[in-house]
Structure 1
Amino acid sequence: MKYPMRALALAGLFSLAPLALATSYSSPEVIVDPSPFKGVHGLAVDRLGRLLAGSVVGNSIYQVDIDDGSVSTLIGPDDGQADDIAIGPNGEMAWTGFYSGRVLYRENDDAPIQVLASDLPGINSLDFNDETGALYASQVFLGDALWEVDRTGQQPPRLIARDMGGFNGFEVGADGWLYGPLWFKGQVVRINPDDGEIKIISSDFKTPAAANFDSKGNLYAIDTFSGQLKQVDQRSGETRVIAQLDSALDNLALDAQDNIYVSNMANNRITQVNPQTGEARQIVGGELAVPAGLTLSEDGKTLYIADVFALRAIDTASGKVTDLRRAHGSDAEYPINVGLGKERLLVTSFSTGTLQLISRADNSTLAMVHQLNAPSAAVELDDGSILVSEMGTGKLLRLMGADLGERIDVLNGLQGPVQMILARDGMVYLTQMSGVLSRFNPATGELTSVAEGLRLPEGLAELPDGHLLVAEPSAQRLVTINPQTGESTIAVEQLPIGLKPGPGMPPTGIPTALAVDAQGRVYFASDIDNGLYRLTPQ
């Protein structure tokens, strides 16, 4: 009886007939500046001296001006998805489509793009042997294997080894062996491409992400957990810290002058490091990486944002960004959405199937629930149980118990659930990719349709007058919906939202979330330029 009583008590606080709608909104006000990329990963310096950077979520390869940090697109969607980039002995280029499972290649800027290998999910790092022209590539996270890829694309890849421990950003050494990190074992190793033999060089790492040589044969490697760039003694295995950077490092590359370039996925940052002095200079970067889900504190002063490679808090008055968690430097698991509980943050990751509960008081992790099927959103009910929507199964689950170990299927047959909110009337409202806005009654388990025919609805928030605000990123607009009648009105158009998802990604791509404060001001993040914006009702 808790929820019906609550609904009755709140019914007098706002009436849905008639409703006073804001007729317009201000132009988007920038709260956090935009940045390039969508997480930056593989790096390479080509024979022309160009610094190239790959972004998996951004689905593109970019050219970065080393002097002024300007960024332009070299290869865009959908062929540009690149977790790593390699330059061959004659200037040819190959790259890996992590989600698409493809190895792509072209001889030069004017040549056609070829697919050399496919059906390799999690294809991650690759490099050429400059003496023989052989091309090698590894699978990590969605697989664990090392392959030699046929340069003509006519023959299937040759398997070299499996179950190595995550052979991430590697490079071919002068001796023809492959040198790189085993992500899950904390080691830098070398592997014989002929028979897959592995020899450990160093175990002085927490989570090594990549390794590269300079022109003199010195070996450098990065530790994504500690944020350190290290030089590795190949005989003793001892390491020396060259530069202390931030966690979430992903890749490195060197130019002809042996300057080192390091990518950081959590800040869309590329840093140039002088290996002799350790001096570090940021070439490009941003406060946000891939902003997705967001939720607002009750007082409207703090906006929590799931930034894929970090979980962050933003002061809505100043725009100051504070890291709560960073990927690979904490227990964060690629957060895609965040909900506000009474005393907890509810953080979901559909890429790792995780729900993480974090204390709002001291930022400690209270619970980690795994083996969910692409969870897209979570809300906390009055009794402390958690509702979780699964995009992978179309289910709505209720998690209960001290460790949320008890699971009950409360709904089946949802068509791509994206966002959920617990409204002031005690009902749960949720958007579905099928174009439906639905109402779920937690007390009765009843699901009803509020509005249909929406254009791929994603983000959802409740306005002060009781209307619902829904994001339709594919139409680059927000619409208001009367939850009693289902009547919809376009609230604002031509917003910087609606990035097309790349190959292998969920249909939402990076979901556009919404948050509204007591004054009706609307917060949204751009999946186009990574900026955070505010709309003020006029």
Structure 2
Amino acid sequence: MNATYPSRFDAAGSRPVSSAPGKARRLNPPNRLWGSNGVAFGPDSRLYVAEFLAGRISAVDPATGDVEVIVPMDGPVASPDDLAFGADGSMYIADLAPGRVWRRTPRGDYSLVSDQVIMPNGITCVGDRLFVNEMRPGGRLMELFPDGGDPKVLTEGLALGNAMQLGPDGHLYYPHMMTGQVWRIPPDGGVPEVVAEDVHEPVAVRFDQGGVLHVLSRGVEGIVTRIDLHGTGSRTLVTSGLVGLDNAAFDAENRMFVSSYASGGITELHADGRTREIVPRGLDGPFGLTVDLGGTVYAADHYRLASPAPTDEGEPVTVSAASEEGGITSRDLRPFAHGVAHADGLVHVTSQYGDVHTYDPDRGTTRERSSGLERPMGITVGPDGSLVVAEAGGGRVVAIDGSDTVTVLADGLDHPVDVAFDTEGRCYVSDDRLGAVLRLDGGEAVVVAEGLDAPQGLVVRDDELCTVEVGHRRLRAISLTTGESRIVAEGLPVGPPPGSRSTGAGRAGAGRAGAGSVLAVPDPPLPFAGLALAPDGSLLVSGNGEGSVWQVEA
């Protein structure tokens, strides 16, 4: 019996997952906020949250945690990353990837303010005036004019701008994410000046009701640096443990509410570092999945490696993980993580921007194995210990050996998305565009199963080849001996939510992250419903339509 959970995929929580003859259960609840980025209190005292990955904006009641979608996905706004309210109650939205700034009136009407901003992010209103900055090297800070007129550039040379605000001294304050600085400039223009240096990974600046400057860190520790600008300039650091902070807002009672680009949710953060969950954090995907021999699940979750902890839904399960962040443990901030595999105590991760890394959970270290691949997705460890990767963008399957040499195992494929080996060491590849699963024989691709609807995640269990058919939202098992197939589970929350065109917003390929860095142009994740085999023989499916991991016994 499955509990009822509202989600992006099914707001009523009434869409069942069926499996026969086994059972299906979630390991973690769906994500309520698909990543949480810019936040601002609206005229109705609710906290409005920009959800970049979902392409929507929701309003949160701080008292109850209730969430209402205000700007739905697949509307005119593609990838909202920050927002602000004008004096008349209009909402202004920084639409990051397309490079647009929108106005939404209190009646719900939309108008385009500007399409002349490159990667607009930080946005703020000063009375009837509107200011925005660009999240790019050499970016600009501009005043925009909603009623018409060309943008006015106040300054250039920003080293990745982000969330900004007017300070009590009448200056606009903004971070330089690349250099660890906070700057300010008069809203009428002038010479910008550095306010603070050596600030820990600054992503947003916010003033509380008493005029104290708070600088949020985007790192794994969840650091907030409080700077007293009125007196000595002294600093106080608070470590919240909230991974990937993105933005903050203070209510009339001076309570601080923070968002997380890495895990979503809304949390009240107290001055002493204590936290109170308003909207639970969750998974932004997940995409690739793997399980170690101890039962710990690793999910590639776009901005990080994460582990879902089992809920109390249904019967006990044998997979395990420490319970943090509402049932989710953040293992490592890993930009644009997409595919994941585990072997011999190491976790191997692909990035949709072309990188492959090996992460050591015990030491907390990461080693780059390859770069420059074209949208690598699924990954597995071959019989010889090499990493075998489905290079979707290049139409290839490649192997990376212990010396990090890349060898092409097959090319000329349409869109390979996952790879798996059987007990005899034969390699299988799922191709979601071709609608088939292939076997590699001497570099040639031989069709094993065809007529499938977008097969993605792939594993071999005993004599059966198992794959997630995203188009039909089902899990299929195919006998490698007879070719007969059966449906293991149906109604899975995989792929785009019903009625939407995509799993995210924006455009792919707009930027690239360096090794171990989160400083990159963010893109929505490429669609990928991963599949993993647990030590007890059950199958784990990434419910990337709602932010959950499902365990299927069959």
Q: Distance in 1 between matches of 2:426 and 2:71?
A: 46
Q: Is the 8 A contact 2:35 2:261 kept in 1?
A: yes
Runs of 5+ unmatched residues, structure 2 = 1-17, 310-316, 324-328, 497-501, 509-523
Q: 2:74 — aligned with what?
A: 78
Alignment of 1:348 with 2:350, yes or no, is yes
Q: Distance in 1 between matches of 2:19 and 2:239?
A: 53
Q: Distance in 2 between matches of 1:303 and 1:221?
A: 33
The Cα offsets for residues 390-429 of structure 1, whole Å up to 9 and x where unpaired, read as: 3333333333453x1x334443333332222223231222
State the SS of the aligned residue for 2:53. Answer: coil
The Cα of 1:508 is off from its aligned counterpart by: 7.3
Q: 1:401 to 1:244 in 2, by over 3 A?
A: closer
Alignment of 1:52 with 2:69, yes or no, is no
Q: Is the 8 A contact 1:222 1:229 kept in 2?
A: yes
Q: Is the 8 A contact 1:201 1:237 kept in 2?
A: no
The Cα offsets for residues 212-263 of structure 1, whole Å up to 9 and x where unpaired, read as: 1234433221122241223223365532235634231111112223221111
Q: 1:490 — aligned with what?
A: 487
Q: Is the 8 A contact 1:31 1:319 kept in 2?
A: no
Q: Is the 8 A contact 1:344 1:359 kept in 2?
A: yes
Q: Distance in 1 between matches of 2:385 and 2:294?
A: 23
Q: Is the 8 A contact 1:475 1:498 kept in 2?
A: no
Q: 2:60 — aligned with what?
A: 64
- One-letter identity of the residue aligned with 1:436: G
2:144 to 149, 158, 178: 149
Q: 1:260 to 1:61 in 2, by over 3 A?
A: same
Q: 2:183 — aligned with what?
A: 189
Q: 1:90 to 1:497 in 2, by over 3 A?
A: same
Q: Distance in 2 between matches of 1:86 and 1:118?
A: 17
State the SS of the aligned residue for 1:333. Answer: strand
Q: Distance in 2 between matches of 1:303 and 1:279?
A: 28
Range that drifts further, 252-261 or 233-242: 233-242
The Cα offsets for residues 476-513 of structure 1, whole Å up to 9 and x where unpaired, read as: 21222344676544332112222232333569744211
The Cα offsets for residues 361-385 of structure 1, whole Å up to 9 and x where unpaired, read as: 6443243533333221223333343
Q: Distance in 2 between matches of 1:264 and 1:144?
A: 23
Q: 2:517 — aligned with what?
A: none
Q: 1:489 to 1:120 in 2, by over 3 A?
A: farther
- One-letter identity of the residue aligned with 2:121: N
Q: Distance in 2 between matches of 1:486 and 1:88?
A: 62
Q: Is the 8 A contact 2:355 2:373 kept in 1?
A: yes
Q: 1:24 — aligned with what?
A: 20
Q: 2:400 — aligned with what?
A: 399
Q: 1:445 — aligned with what?
A: 443
Q: 1:486 to 1:76 in 2, by over 3 A?
A: farther
The Cα offsets for residues 87-118 of structure 1, whole Å up to 9 and x where unpaired, read as: 1122110122333433222111x232223334
Runs of 5+ unmatched residues, structure 1 = 1-21
The Cα of 1:471 is off from its aligned counterpart by: 1.1
Q: TM-score, normalised by structure 2?
A: 0.81
Alignment of 1:290-309 (within 5 A): 290-297=285-292, 299=293, 301-309=295-303
Q: Distance in 1 between matches of 2:399 and 2:59?
A: 46
The Cα of 1:455 is off from its aligned counterpart by: 1.8
2:276 to 281, 285, 289: 281
State the SS of the aligned residue for 1:392. Answer: helix
Q: Distance in 2 between matches of 1:194 and 1:136?
A: 14
The Cα offsets for residues 336-381 of structure 1, whole Å up to 9 and x where unpaired, read as: 220123453211111x432111236644324353333322122333
Alignment of 1:386 with 2:383, yes or no, is no
Q: Distance in 1 between matches of 2:119 and 2:432?
A: 26
The Cα of 1:203 is off from its aligned counterpart by: 1.4
Q: Distance in 1 between matches of 2:273 and 2:386?
A: 50
Q: Distance in 2 between matches of 1:64 and 1:174?
A: 27
Q: Distance in 2 between matches of 1:426 and 1:287?
A: 36
Q: 1:311 to 1:438 in 2, by over 3 A?
A: same
Q: Is the 8 A contact 1:146 1:161 kept in 2?
A: yes
The Cα offsets for residues 418-458 of structure 1, whole Å up to 9 and x where unpaired, read as: 2222232312222223133343437x222222233322222
Q: Distance in 2 between matches of 1:389 and 1:146?
A: 41
Alignment of 1:50-449 (within 5 A): 50-79=46-75, 81-108=79-106, 110-118=107-115, 122-130=119-127, 132-140=128-136, 144-152=139-147, 157-173=151-167, 177-192=171-186, 197-225=191-219, 226-234=221-229, 237-241=233-237, 244-275=240-271, 279-297=274-292, 299=293, 301-313=295-307, 317=318, 319-321=320-322, 323=329, 325-327=331-333, 332-350=334-352, 352-359=353-360, 362-400=363-401, 402=403, 404=404, 406-441=405-440, 444-449=442-447
State the SS of the aligned residue for 2:455. Answer: coil
Q: Is the 8 A contact 2:40 2:48 kept in 1?
A: yes
The Cα offsets for residues 46-94 of structure 1, whole Å up to 9 and x where unpaired, read as: 1211111121112221111211222221221123532111111221101
Q: Distance in 1 between matches of 2:482 and 2:115?
A: 49
Instruction: Indicate the percent of aligned positions where both proteins have the same amino acid.
Output: 26
Q: 2:548 — aligned with what?
A: 531
Q: 1:156 to 1:380 in 2, by over 3 A?
A: farther
Q: 1:341 to 1:119 in 2, by over 3 A?
A: farther
Q: 1:4 — aligned with what?
A: none
Q: Distance in 1 between matches of 2:479 and 2:100?
A: 45
Q: Is the 8 A contact 1:378 1:388 kept in 2?
A: yes
- One-letter identity of the residue aligned with 1:470: T
Q: Distance in 2 between matches of 1:321 and 1:504?
A: 34
Q: Distance in 1 between matches of 2:19 and 2:307?
A: 30
Q: Distance in 2 between matches of 1:49 and 1:418?
A: 45
Q: TM-score, normalised by structure 1?
A: 0.83
Q: Distance in 2 between matches of 1:519 and 1:278?
A: 40
Q: Is the 8 A contact 2:84 2:125 kept in 1?
A: yes
The Cα of 1:201 is off from its aligned counterpart by: 0.7
Q: Is the 8 A contact 1:336 1:348 kept in 2?
A: yes
Q: Distance in 1 between matches of 2:454 and 2:157?
A: 40
Q: Distance in 2 between matches of 1:120 and 1:461?
A: 45
- One-letter identity of the residue aligned with 1:526: G
Q: Distance in 1 between matches of 2:347 and 2:102?
A: 40
The Cα offsets for residues 292-321 of structure 1, whole Å up to 9 and x where unpaired, read as: 210122x46222211223213456536434
The Cα of 1:128 is off from its aligned counterpart by: 1.8
In angstroms, what is the RMSD of aligned CA positions? 3.0
Q: Distance in 2 between matches of 1:347 and 1:528?
A: 21
The Cα offsets for residues 142-167 of structure 1, whole Å up to 9 and x where unpaired, read as: x8443433414x55645554442111
Q: Distance in 1 between matches of 2:194 and 2:410?
A: 50
State the SS of the aligned residue for 2:471. Answer: helix
Q: 2:457 — aligned with what?
A: 459
- One-letter identity of the residue aligned with 1:184: M
Report how many aligned residue pairs link the two structures. Answer: 501
Q: Distance in 2 between matches of 1:408 and 1:159?
A: 49
Q: Distance in 2 between matches of 1:508 and 1:185?
A: 27
Q: Distance in 1 between matches of 2:60 and 2:151?
A: 32
